[in-house]
Structure 1
Amino acid sequence: FEDKVEKSQKENISIHSSLKEQLLNLQSQNLKITQEAENLTKALKGDSKMQGNWGELVLERVLEKSGLEKDREYSVQQSFTREDGSRVLPDVIINLPDGKKMVVDSKVSLTAYERYINAEEEFQEKFLKEHISSLKNHVDQLSSKKYEDLYEMESPDFVLMFVPIEPAFAIAINNDNSIYNKAFEQNIVIVTPSTLLATLRTIDSMWNNEKQQRNAIEIARQAGALYDKFEGFISDLTKVGKKMDEAKIEYKGAMNKLVEGRGNIITSIEKLKKMGAKAKKSLPDKYLERAQQDDFDEKLN
């Protein structure tokens, strides 16, 4: 009974220790979630730097899910110099298979949107107008950057303006559907996480097709080279066969000289042995018999 009680106590201590560890881990996770929530709240309440960092973080998460490889299919915060010497720093440059590049910009202020969400109903319209105006202003600012004038990269067909919160763009476009069209006229496409992901997946498919095409060309090239080498191998092998046939004929001729005719070489050499020449070895019987028979036949003739 004492053993069972002691064993039970040890198990309870182990369980309590494990539970304490889990509670501490849960506390740590809750603190982390709280901190992230506070950071998000700060980002949406007008902390411009925090808001920008959070938007770039969301953008990077979307890029990671797209299948594109960083520093190969896209690059982050790559600096470019204009012809007048001024420098620009696009958030993301996406490389396209045809050598062109696409710019993604995520510096969108959502302060007015946060105020709209948390405002009393009587003030919501005011903040909604400010939110729409903020998006339009960012479109104009993005257009004024003239990314197409950058001499270090191919002119992008479009610049993607990234809005990290889907409802923020949805509420704006529902109340002013001219935003998207006016941006499009300035070669700017407004995207959210879902629409950007779809665009990036399409680009990833383009890269996969490009790689497959390059692989097909390389396979065709290597197959042609292999065919040419195989033809050369057959040609060389045919030459070896001819040489072997010629050697066979030469060999047969040489052997005939050894064993054929009256007084052939083998018969003559064997006579030396019979006459007393000291030799430790003997000529093969099959050649001796053939030579002696041929010598005999010649004498009869």
Structure 2
Amino acid sequence: MDGWVWVLLGVVLGALAAGAVGRLLHAARVASVETERDLLRERVLDLETSLAEDMETAALLAPLKDALVRVEQHVGVLERDRVEQFGSLRSLLGRVEAETQGLGRATSSLAGSLRSSSVRGAWGEVQLRRVLEASGMLARCDFDEQVSGVSAHERRVRPDVVVRLPGGKSLVVDAKAPMTHFLDAQADDLPDDERAALLRRHADGLASHVTALSGKEYWSAFRDGPELVVCFVPSDAMLAAALAAQPSLHERALAQRVVLVGPGALLALLRTVAFTWQQDALSSSARELLDLGRELHARLATLGGHTAKLGRSLQGSVEAYNAMVGALESRVLVTARRMHELEVVTDDLAVLEPVRTGPRPLTAQELIDAVTTDDARPELDLGLDEPAPRRDVG
């Protein structure tokens, strides 16, 4: 019996122990579940907070995203335009290169043509004519071409152009200038020392040409002009290269009565000549205007005398009319009114009024002076300095 009790007691104790252990395990499991719940709640809160921050960030970054999209589109358009522009530029550079090569060939051909003396002379004459036309001058009016003359050495000379100056004067222009060495110096693959040597030879050739022009003495064949000749160099670069090689070339040419000019200097010189022609025309017009003024003044004086005579005639007519009205009023109409008073007639006679306005006297001193020189001067003492008196006859 005691054994069963102890067994039952052991069973009860075991059950109690098992229950206690189960409760402990349950409590531990509950605590674990609560802890996991709290952790999950915190995780959910963190996720919600993170999601809200992400949404705020996305809202803030939305304009930036749109701007990036627009920038990307604009960059695409720019890239497309850049490709098109590079294509156009490549095509344009190709045409420029082709035209440059063509220009180089044309320049080489022109340089080769200018080595001929006849072509070089024709080109100089063409350049000279262009400058003359640009200055406003007309052929056979302001200048003559290829005019022949005989110099002091009994030698026939024929300058390219003779420019006419006011007063019957003339200015001689020669357009033949050497340029072979200058053209040789323009080669691209030429060393600097050889180019400098060619430019010095170009200056020497121009100096020799100046001496030859001075020896022709054009001014002796055209004596109505200044004692000098204008040497026209068709290119300012040619003249500048020669002067750079020989700085004293200008002074030595002037000492030999030769003036070296390029297109620019010649244009300024011809414009000065054209201005001189304008001043000469203005002087002629002024002299003609002076003669016309004197003639007009003389005619005004004659007209003043006629006007004064007409005024005197009008004054006499007014006085005669007023005298007639006075006589009619005092002599004739008195008897006529008497007949009306006696009722012989019934109609009233018209009342005649004298003329109370006389002719206006001359007041301009020029007309008065012209009238005083007339033979009828004594008849002008009728009050020219003041209005004529009004006569009321009757």
Q: Which TM class, normalised by the smaller chain length? A: 0.5 to 0.7
Q: Does the 8 A contact of 1:105 with 1:160 survive in 2?
A: yes
Unaligned 5+ runs, structure 2: 1-102, 337-348, 353-394
8 Å CA contact retained: 2:218, 2:228? no
Query: What TM-score do you get using the length of structure 2 for normalisation?
Result: 0.53
Question: Take 2:129 and 2:105, find their aligned partners in 1: how far apart are those partners?
Answer: 20
Equivalent pair of 1:79/1:87 in contact (CA under 8 Å): yes
1:183 deviates by 0.6
The runs of at least 4 consecutive aligned structure 1 residues that moved more than 6 Å come to 33-36, 254-260
Is 2:233–2:261's contact at 8 Å kept on the other side of the alignment? yes
Q: 1:78 to 1:221 in 2, by over 3 A?
A: same
Counterpart pick for 1:127 among 170, 180, 198: 198
Residue 184 of structure 1: CA displacement? 0.5
Higher RCO (CA 8 Å, separation ≥ 6 residues): 1
Match of 1:220 among 283, 290, 302: 290
Deviation of the 1:83 alpha carbon: 6.6
Letter in 2 for 1:228: A
Code of the residue aligned with 1:173 in structure 2: it is: L
Alignment of 1:47-86 (within 5 A): 47-82=116-151, 86=155
Larger radius of gyration: 2
Is 2:279 the counterpart of 1:209?
A: yes
Q: Do 1:109 and 1:134's aligned partners in 2 also have CA atoms closer than 8 Å?
A: yes
Q: How many residues align?
A: 247
The corresponding residue for 1:292 is: none
Q: Partner residue of 2:164?
A: 95
Partner residue of 1:142 out of 213, 216, 220: 213
Listed as ranges, the gaps of 5+ residues in structure 1 are 1-32, 267-284, 289-301
Tell me if the contact between 1:90 and 1:103 (Cα under 8 Å) persists in the aligned partners.
yes
Distance 1:37 1:246, change over 3 A: farther
Q: Secondary structure at the match of 1:93?
A: strand
1:108 aligns with 2:177: yes
Structure 1 residue 100 displacement after superposition: 2.6
Contact 2:178 2:205 survives alignment (8 Å): yes
In structure 2, how many angstroms separate the alpha carbons of the residues matched to 1:64 and 1:247? 70
SS in 1 for 2:166: coil
* CA pair 35-256 structure 1, distance change in 2 beyond 3 A: farther
Partner of 2:308: 238
**Secondary structure of 1:102's aligned partner:** strand
1:192 corresponds in structure 2 to: 262
RMSD value over aligned CA atoms? 3.9
User: Does structure 2 conserve the Cα–Cα contact (< 8 Å) formed by 1:93 and 1:103?
Assistant: yes
* TM-score (normalised: structure 1): 0.67
Distance 1:160 1:57, change over 3 A: same
Secondary structure of the residue aligned to 2:230 is: strand
